[in-house]
Amino acid sequence: MTKAHFGLIGLGVMGENLVLNAERNGFSSVVYNRTYSKTEDFLKSRGADKSISGAIDLKDFVEKLERPRRILMMVKAGKATDAVIQQISPFLEEGDLLIDGGNSLFSDTERRVSELESKSFGYIGMGVSGGAKGALQGPSMMPGGTKSSYKAIEPLLNKMAAQVEDGPCVTYIGPGGSGHFVKTVHNGIEYGIEQILAESYDLMKRVCGMNCDEISEVFGFWNKTEELSSYLVEITEMCLKVKDPEDGSDLVEKIMDKAGQKGTGLWTVVSALQLGASVPTIYASLNGRVMSSMKSQRQRAESLFGSPKTYSFNLGSKSDGMAPIMDAVVLSTIASYAQGMEILRLASEEYKYELHMPSIAQIWKGGCIIRSTLLKRIQEAFILDPQLPNLLLDPWFSKQVKERLNGLTKVVSASAEAGIPVPCFSSTLDYINSYKTSRLPQNLVQAMRDCFGSHTYERIDKVGSFHTDWDV
């Protein structure tokens, strides 16, 4: 019997679609799932009449694959991934390659790469973005590990990935856990943009008195602009139009206002803090989810403090795309990307990943959840200046800041007066205002620290380390 080119473990939503993608691109496949009935169901339905066969156990699975084996694991991150590695390892042979396409913590991937490579197996930790549709039609993929392991799957990944004008949305990211690190930061940026769009919806609803259809029209307008054309704006326009089949009202208004945060969003912020990256917009989006989950406390507090009074501010019109709100969305989105790229720049130095920023922007231009026209500008900014410390310093992005800062300021002050929380907008305003201030008040912080703890301070007029007896 001819052996299959490619093996897939884990028939969840991502695994199912990725194996169909591989098969469509000419790679005969074999699939294994912990619960065999799911494999049978898949082979009778979406997997029927294709070059895909099933395996009842991992021994059978491995025997059905050509050597060196190329095996993609699409299982939950953490214990499930370790369990699968442990179960399959006795059947693997020298040169076989395991690819973890789940959302693994990058330090787990570092450990697995060195463990597996020391046994002469290949191991790639690969971030995959694009949801179910992307997995089927072409995702963005971020593989990290040894270059030789990557070479063994490069032709497969190049075909499976989304394609943009300058190539497939996949590239070798770097050694160790770098692929999963980049995917983590991708998700942190995604958290930011989702919260930013939600804040704009809230303002249009509560300050401008617009209904979901009207707000959807504004998202449609934004999606036609260079600054905001993106997958997330596009799906927001769509979601806002959907009605509840039971009574024809707007479905989003029936959804519980609680969002979870675990895994990648949290890891992005923790990594940023460890690396000394300033990421207030991304952090605000994470905290927005934490706050949202405290529903019963918020209900209690609202009955204690009262709901915000109804305010009406002029925040633009539908014909100008609610200009000040659009300014706030554009600058906050830029801040999310800028902060994400900053984490990557620092991680690249700290962990010796040697990340190539233009290539990362390039592979995010298609297939993934944060794809947007802005990524072309980000790619160009890092080509123009490979050492660019922050996107805000690039000529095109700094022009956006200059032109849109008044709009963002107006939106944040109107929201504050109306008592409407806009954590990402207000954090972005502080971020930009701090970033463009050459003298911040941390001189006084340093004085206090020296006063109570003799921590010493530097001076702006003399070189050296100074201590003062502050008691007067």
Binding site for ligand NBP (CB under 6 A): 9-15, 33-35, 38, 74-77, 80, 83-84, 102-103, 128-129, 131
Q: Is 31 helix (H, G, I), strand (E, B) or coil?
A: strand
In whole angstroms, the minimum distance from the beta carbon of 38 to ligand NBP comes to 5
Other residues' Cβ atoms within 10 Å of the Cβ of residue 210: 19
d(CA 236, CA 183): 22
Q: Which is nearer to ligand NBP, 230 or 427 (CB)?
A: 230
In whole angstroms, the minimum distance from the beta carbon of 263 to ligand NBP comes to 7
Q: Which is nearer to ligand NBP, 10 or 321 (CB)?
A: 10
Q: Which is nearer to ligand NBP, 13 or 384 (CB)?
A: 13
CB-based contacts of 374: which residues, under 8 Å, 6+ apart? 227, 228, 230, 333, 334, 337
CA distances from 245 to 174, 242, 250 (A): 48, 9, 9
Residues serving a catalytic function are 183, 190
Q: Which is nearer to ligand NBP, 126 or 233 (CB)?
A: 126
In whole angstroms, the minimum distance from the beta carbon of 129 to ligand NBP comes to 6
Record the tokens describing residue 73, joined without a space: 């694991």
Q: Which is nearer to ligand NBP, 81 or 428 (CB)?
A: 81
The residue written with tokens 């001076």 in the block is 459
Amino acid at 277: A
In whole angstroms, the minimum distance from the beta carbon of 15 to ligand NBP comes to 5
Q: What are phi and psi of 388, to 5 degrees?
A: -55, 120
Measured CA angle at 26 (ends 48, 365), to 5 deg:
105
Residue of minimal Cβ distance to ligand NBP: 12
In whole angstroms, the minimum distance from the beta carbon of 319 to ligand NBP comes to 36
Record the tokens describing residue 97, joined without a space: 């390659």
Record the tokens describing residue 219, joined without a space: 């998202």
Residues, the chain: 472
Ramachandran sector of residue 281 (left: φ over 0; alpha: ψ -120 to 50; beta: rest): alpha
